[in-house]
Homo-oligomer: A and B are copies of this chain.
Amino acid sequence: MLVPALSATMTLGPREVRHLKVLRVQVGDTLRVFDGHGHEALAVVTVLDDTRAELELGGALAGVPETPYPLTLAAALLKGDKLAEVVRAATELGVARVALLITARADVREIGAQKLQRLSRIAAEAAKQSRRAVVPVVMEPTPLHALTWEGHLYVAQPGAVNRIMDVLDWTAPVTVLTGPEGGLTDAEVTALTTRGAQPVTLGPRILRAETAPVALLGAIAALGR
């Protein structure tokens, strides 16, 4: 259960109460609570009525393992609800941050404040469902050339020779980048590799823009981190 902050007594509102009821939680039950910033603990439900719940903090708890360094997904903007699905799966697969990109061939070039909020809410829900103590941050879209990263950047690129399992280096933060429907332009890929990005293959078939991030993050998760 996501709470604003871990404290001795925590009060939850109607939305969380609805979630508790769906989970068939009752007074006296013990839950995991987390603050979305990496802190997680056990708490006991002491009050549960129709609109309000109170929890009392129990002991600290080892959270679900996070990646050795933060993992960022940098993904080109996508149409409709595709981004929501990508954010949800990326959260399960361990990302700490989603950077949204405006690229040459992206047919979406902006995103409303409301939609951005909705994506953050989806990240929070998905973090809760997969019991992660970290809620990924979904950042406002930036043009590709303005993207900055720490550590290593791997860009999914059809025809690339390197495989993620051969080049992935977890001694620093990791960013994986996937393009829009139609792909990144050659100029965009060159600009990225000039800045140190490493192209990686996702196999011989062309993937949709919403499948590529899940496939690439899936490969990283399947490596065990």
Contact = CB atoms under 8 A, between A and B. Distances in A.
B163 A223 contact: yes
Contacts of A201: 222, 224
Given A214-B211, A214-B214, A205 B132 contact: yes
Interface in A131-154: 131-132
B222 A203 contact: yes
A182 to B, nearest CB: 12
A222 B92 contact: no
B215 A203 contact: no
B218 A92 contact: no
Interface residues of A: mostly helix, strand, loop or mixed?
A: loop
A29 to B, nearest CB: 19
Contacts of A93: 203, 205, 207, 211, 215
Contacts of A215: 89, 93, 214-215, 217-219, 221-222
A45 interface: no
A77 interface: no
Contacts of A55: none
Given A89-B211, A215-B222, 10 more contacts: A64-B206, A65-B204, A92-B211, A94-B205, A131-B205, A131-B206, A200-B222, A202-B221, A211-B214, A211-B218
